């Protein structure tokens, strides 16, 4: 991908642009609504000139404008037309916004803030998303042939300061070139922040020679702060000589420029490992600035959640030191290996009775009570005597359901046959208000499993019932992935506890276990009648926190107004109803649980959400990483939402906390403009599966929270306060 120069003259004569924009006079003012860096919403009149292309290889358009009635100049970077619906184009704009907002928080309006663009506002979920800036200071140095030695020193100081600040935030500017660095005669300003990437990520191709580092252009290895040092050296060489340097090594005439040779020689090394870092190069080029920065540099935004994370550690210690009460077998005890697929059709009774997830009565496979759906999607009884073919019979059984008659007073319900054939199923219930995003999260979670998201953890999956599975894909996954907004979970009275989907998960040792998912209507969850007996047999709970109602943050005010809801500190009523109804034996509930801060894309530029949403999908279960995320989410909720929203964590012994976004962006007029891009939707499920022993946890005993199945030993799972001392006190540090 090419480098990303800003337009040559973003601050050129706005009056001339306005005249070009329309022959009938200056463009008419329109009202533009946007979010300020503080998170507050604002609307202001604005006039824009014509678009110019930011770079021929990139989708962003740029146009100058006049903001407010007093005519404050501004520059809008935006996406329009088909490119506004392209997920990768939107991701570039998100990257740019995240980088400039992070530097805004870090530099807090101090003297070093001048090194970066001044963001006025943004709206990244609009049909045509945009960023609104104050104009750059000066012009791009691509228009400067040679700089004086004095200007070179000042320019080099500012450029290396900017790269050092980015490196201090774990960010690398991959797009540094003469077109992305501006100079006003006294100081420099770094643009092109859509090219920023996190250090340590796998390199992807970006940039043009000679300004992009060789390993960056080849997409080799991992992003390193010294990638940007190569780019800075190339820009400084061009400003000293008037010509670009070579693409892959030290300029042949560098020795003829003694000052450059002494300070920049190793910055042209073909390998990042052989180059100095930004701070080391700053020390060479501007030692006084480096020393001053070390003494008086910005401390960055205060860590407002530090004491809340300390409370999280204290809560974990209290859980660890509180002994488990004696009890019977764990509800989620791991089953033995299930029968082979060819055997399950011939075994009446399967592996013995299992608990019906609806009526909570024991049910056993009965070959005389099986049904299949006909072409009208109605149940008709299955006559197995007609199916004697040993190849076809298992397939018919796999599609069949059994009518449960264990409780004649309970509404009619059916159980997929494979659910009864592989030992005790694992039931997972989503808990939360109907507007919390449960349906979207669960849909993307199951879609992620279907697409192989659990394979890195040693689990394969296949549907329990193919027809049910295909309906789920057709009715939920495909519309959501295509940008449609799913309806809220509807309340259905006394039969509200229904399957959404069920899968068979098989681990590396060939053990298979059914996992059933339930999407429960929030209206039903706040009921206290007999319908809630369903919860008495549930194996795992996933509490979904809606940030719109939980967090009174200014960046959520606009969404609250649209949805006509308010933030409240009383917690989710569904959480309380479920926690009060679950059986308790001791100070803590023993059901495996996870809490998810859903719709996190609404907070994608706020720490610590920005950090976790930017993390790549995990390929192994790292207890220290899960614990760190749990502490961050706990701190955020404790600081802004209040203790009622943390009641699941405080009430349940094994509970992890997670950040996830089912859609990646917000709907606009009933659709997601660029489709949906789920982030971190499988991490909560991985945690729950580990607590139940389906995923092995490094450094600990059984990962189901109770040691090996049936045993009460220590666990290495991050949500378990009984974890080994090695994890609790060593690895977590």
Q: Are 143 and 185 in contact (CB under 8 A)?
A: no
Count of Cβ atoms closer than 10 Å to residue 53 Cβ: 12
- Check pLDDT > 60 for residue 244: yes
pLDDT value of residue 230: 97
pLDDT of res. 86: 92
* Rounded alpha-carbon distances, angstroms, from residue 493 to 103, 359, 372: 51, 14, 25
Residue 521 — pLDDT band, cuts 50, 70, 90?
low
Is residue 454 within 8 Å of residue 542, measured between CB atoms? no
* SS3 assignment, position 361: coil
- Class level of CATH domain 14-133: alpha beta
Question: Rounded to whole angstroms, what are the CA distances from 106 to 162, 169, 298?
Answer: 12, 9, 7
User: Position of tokens 């899960």?
Assistant: 626
State the SS3 of 660-718.
Answer: CECCCCCCECCECECECCCECCCHHHHHHHHHCCCCCCCCCCCCCCCCCCCCCCCECCC
Q: What is the pLDDT of residue 56?
A: 81
What CA–CA distance (Å, rounded) separates 557 from 307? 26
Residue 106 CA from chain centroid, whole number: 22
- Give residue-wise pLDDT tens across range 405-431: 888 888 888 888 888 888 788 989 999
pLDDT digits (tens, 9 = 90+) for 619-674: 899 999 999 999 999 999 999 999 999 999 999 999 999 999 999 888 877 788 88
Question: Smallest Cα–Cα separation from 588: which of 323, 314, 317, 329?
Answer: 323
- Residue 296: pLDDT band by 50, 70, 90 thresholds? confident
Query: 320, 722 in Cβ contact below 8 A?
Result: yes
What pLDDT, on a 0 to 100 scale, did the predictor assign at position 332?
Answer: 39
Contacts of 701 (CB under 8 A, 6+ apart): 707, 708, 711, 713, 714, 715, 716, 724
What average pLDDT score do residues 43-62 get?
91
488 or 77, higher pLDDT: 77
**Do residues 492 and 498 lie in contact, with contact meaning Cβ atoms separated by under 8 Å?**
yes
Lowest mean pLDDT among 283-292, 519-528, 617-626: 519-528
Contact 90, 665 (CB under 8 A): yes
* Model pLDDT, residue 625: 94
CA distances from 472 to 265, 469, 480, 506, 518 (A): 60, 5, 11, 21, 13
Distance from C-alpha of 232 to C-alpha of 207, rounded to nearest angstrom? 13
Q: Average pLDDT in the 465-489 region?
A: 84
In CATH, 424-694 is 3.40.50.300: yes
565: left (phi over 0), alpha (psi -120 to 50) or beta: beta
Instruction: Domain ranges for the chain, please list them.
Output: 14-133, 141-296, 344-414, 424-694
Residue 11 has pLDDT above 50, yes or no: no
Each residue's pLDDT tens digit, 67-110: 987 789 999 999 999 999 999 999 999 999 999 999 999 998 78
pTM of the full structure:
0.85
For domain 141-296, say whether CATH 1.10.510.10 is its number: yes
> Above 90 in pLDDT, residue 202?
yes
CA distance 571 to 361: 32
Of residues 380 and 732, more confidence is placed in 380
């Amino acid at each position: 991908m090419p480098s990303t120069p800003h337009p040559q003259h973003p601050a050129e004569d706005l009056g001339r642009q306005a005249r070009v924009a329309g022959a009938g006079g200056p463009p008419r003012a329109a009202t533009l609504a946007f979010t300020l860096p503080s998170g507050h919403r604002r609307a202001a009149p604005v006039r824009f000139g014509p678009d110019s292309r930011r770079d021929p290889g990139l989708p962003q358009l740029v146009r100058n404008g006049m903001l407010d009635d007093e005519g404050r100049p501004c520059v809008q970077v935006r996406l329009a037309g088909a490119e506004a619906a392209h997920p990768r184009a939107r991701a570039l704009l998100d990257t740019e916004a995240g980088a400039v907002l992070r530097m805004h928080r870090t530099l807090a309006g101090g003297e070093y803030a001048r090194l970066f663009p001044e963001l006025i506002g943004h709206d990244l979920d609009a049909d045509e998303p945009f960023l609104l800036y104050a104009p750059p200071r000066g012009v791009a140095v691509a228009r400067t042939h040679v700089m004086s030695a004095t200007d070179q020193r000042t320019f080099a100081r500012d450029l290396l300061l900017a790269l050092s600040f980015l490196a201090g935030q774990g960010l690398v500017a991959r797009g540094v070139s003469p077109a992305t660095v501006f100079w006003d005669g006294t100081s420099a300003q770094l643009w092109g922040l859509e090219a920023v990437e996190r250090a340590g990520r796998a390199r992807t191709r970006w940039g043009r020679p000679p300004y992009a580092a060789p390993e960056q252009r080849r997409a080799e290895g991992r992003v390193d702060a010294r990638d940007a040092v190569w780019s800075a050296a190339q820009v400084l060489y061009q400003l000293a000589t008037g010509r670009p340097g070579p693409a892959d090594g030290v300029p042949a005439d560098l020795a003829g420029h003694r000052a450059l040779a002494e300070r920049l020689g190793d910055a042209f090394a073909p390998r990042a490992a052989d180059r100095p870092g930004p701070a080391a190069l700053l020390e060479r080029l501007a030692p006084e600035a480096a020393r001053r920065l070390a003494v008086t540099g910005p401390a960055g935004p205060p860590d407002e959640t530090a004491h809340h994370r300390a409370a999280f550690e204290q809560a974990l210690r209290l859980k660890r030191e509180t002994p488990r009460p004696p009890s019977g077998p764990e509800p989620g005890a791991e089953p033995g290996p299930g029968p082979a697929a060819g055997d399950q059709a011939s075994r009446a009774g399967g592996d013995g009775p299992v608990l019906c997830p609806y009526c909570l009565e024991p049910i056993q496979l009965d070959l005389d009570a099986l049904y299949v759906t006909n072409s009208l999607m109605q149940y008709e009884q299955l006559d197995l005597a007609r199916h004697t073919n040993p190849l076809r019979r298992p397939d018919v059984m796999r599609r069949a359901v059994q009518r449960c008659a264990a409780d004649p007073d309970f509404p009619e319900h059916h159980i997929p046959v494979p659910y009864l054939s592989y030992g005790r199923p694992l039931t997972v219930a989503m808990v939360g208000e109907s507007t919390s995003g449960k349906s979207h999260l669960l849909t993307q979670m199951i879609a992620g499993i279907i697409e192989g998201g659990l394979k890195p953890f040693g689990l394969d999956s296949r549907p329990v019932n193919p027809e049910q599975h295909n309906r789920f894909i057709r009715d939920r996954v495909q519309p959501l992935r295509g940008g449609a907004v799913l309806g809220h979970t509807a309340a259905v009275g006394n039969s509200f506890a229904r399957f959404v989907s069920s899968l068979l998960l098989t681990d590396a040792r060939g053990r298979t276990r059914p996992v059933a998912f339930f999407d429960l209507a929030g209206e039903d969850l706040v009921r206290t009648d007999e319908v809630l007996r369903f919860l008495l047999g549930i194996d795992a709970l996933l509490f979904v926190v809606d940030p719109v109602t939980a967090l009174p943050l200014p960046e959520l005010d606009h969404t609250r107004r649209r949805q006509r809801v308010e933030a409240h500190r009383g917690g989710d009523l569904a959480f309380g109803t479920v926690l009060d109804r679950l059986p308790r034996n001791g100070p803590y509930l023993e059901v495996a649980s996870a809490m998810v801060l859903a719709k996190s894309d609404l907070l994608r530029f706020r720490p610590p959400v920005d950090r976790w949403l930017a993390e790549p999908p995990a390929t192994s279960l790292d207890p220290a990483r899960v614990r760190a995320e749990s502490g961050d989410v706990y701190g955020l909720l404790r600081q802004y939402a209040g203790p009622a929203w943390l009641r699941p964590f405080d009430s349940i012994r094994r509970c992890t906390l997670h950040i996830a976004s089912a859609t990646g962006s917000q709907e606009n007029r009933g659709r997601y403009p660029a489709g949906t891009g789920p982030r971190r939707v499988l991490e909560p499920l991985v945690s729950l599966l580990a607590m139940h022993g389906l995923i092995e946890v490094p450094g600990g005993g059984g990962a189901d929270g109770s040691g090996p199945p049936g045993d009460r030993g220590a666990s290495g799972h991050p949500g378990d306060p009984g974890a080994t001392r090695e994890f609790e006190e060593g690895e977590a540090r």
